[in-house]
Amino acid sequence: AQSVTQPDIHITVSEGASLELRCNYSYGATPYLFWYVQSPGQGLQLLLKYFSGDTLVQGIKGFEAEFKRSQSSFNLRKPSVHWSDAAEYFCAVGAYAAGNKLTFGGGTRVLVKP
Amino acid sequence: DAGVTQSPTHLIKTRGQHVTLRCSPISGHKSVSWYQQVLGQGPQFIFQYYEKEERGRGNFPDRFSARQFPNYSSELNVNALLLGDSALYLCASSFAEIATYEQYFGPGTRLTVT
């Protein structure tokens, strides 16, 4: 069965500082990996995804993530955080045989200090 | 273009009652998935429908059921409501039934069971 762990429940970062959110997954084959962002009162928005190929993927809003098979990780990074990046971030895993089903981690809430 | 729409936005029900939640996918999308997001947790997969057929079911009791209509809209029904059913219910639509196609999430329906 697939599972996703996001070890950090909350992260506080100063505006302009770098951000890294951790994600570890468990899946037997090559997974499909996703990062979503959820702002208060809104649905989920896809930031980026990894299916195969280059292990460093670029997404929207200046985010990037790196797939490391040896560590079963897919960490999200942003070089310089803006106040508008304050939100909850979810890592998710999918699989070819699972249709559209995504398994989500518990989320990391990001607070941005001025 | 309209995104995924869900109705109602909020509702309050009493234990033991029944509830129907509705979802309209993005035009041209044939796959609809439902997720339950309990406060402070990541979304959990409930159902996926594609071309009006159930293609996936998560680990939820039989009190939960769904269907997809010829216009690809969908309903999620929950019978005999329990306090633990209080959550944000998210609908996601996709052009196809595999995870490599991006899923677009609606804003959700906030269900409170008292």
First-last CA distance in chain A: 41
Q: Give DSSP secondary structure letters for B73-84.
A: -EEEEE-S--GG
Residues B4 and B22 sit within 8 Å (Cβ to Cβ): no
pLDDT at B82 exceeding the cut of 80: yes
- Which two tokens mark B80? 């005999």
> And the tokens for B28?
């041209």
The rounded distance, in Å, linking the Cα atoms of A12 and B48 is 35
pLDDT digits (tens, 9 = 90+) for A57-113: 999 999 999 999 999 999 999 999 999 999 999 999 998 777 888 999 999 999 999
Q: How far apart are CA B37 and CA B23, in angstroms?
A: 16
Following DSSP, what letter does each residue of A6-18 receive, concatenated?
---SEEEEETTS-
Q: How far is A39 from chain B (nearest CA, A)?
A: 10
Residue A54 to residue A64: CA distance in whole angstroms: 12
Tell me, what's the pLDDT at B7?
97
Q: A113 to chain B, minimum CA–CA distance in Å?
A: 22
> What is residue A99's predicted lDDT score, i.e. its pLDDT?
80
Q: Judge whether residue B43 has pLDDT over 90.
A: yes
**Residue A47 in contact with residue B46, Cβ under 8 Å?**
no
Query: Which pLDDT value is given to residue B100?
Result: 79
Other Cβ atoms within 10 Å of B49 Cβ, number: 26
Q: Write the CB contacts of A41 (distance below 8 Å, at least 6 apart in sequence).
A: B107
Q: Dump pLDDT digits (tens) for A5-60.
A: 999 999 999 999 999 999 999 987 778 999 999 998 778 999 999 998 889 999 99
Question: What chain B residue is nearest to A4 in terms of C-alpha separation?
Answer: B42
Interface check B98 vs A, CB under 8 A = yes
